[in-house]
Amino acid sequence: MNEYQEQVYAVAQQVWDSAEDADTFMAAPHALLGGKTPFEVAVTETGAQQVEEILWNIYWGLPR
């Protein structure tokens, strides 16, 4: 896991309030990521920002 993935995973744990749910989110293909998993996309800074945006939208209940 690289630094971007670690950062995104920490946000996922905060959003889901559960390591298990964060794991599920990070490993599941996501439509807003072109069918890739958040873990796959978060290998770059830009990808990590994209995943974090999705996570914060989930956290705040904002539509995408």
Two tokens, residue 33: 């990521």
pLDDT at 62: 80
In angstroms and rounded to an integer, the radius of gyration of the C-alpha atoms of the chain is 10
pTM of the complete model:
0.92
Alpha carbon distance 60, 3 (integer Å): 24
Ranges under pLDDT 50 in the chain: none
Alpha carbon distance 58, 64 (integer Å): 9
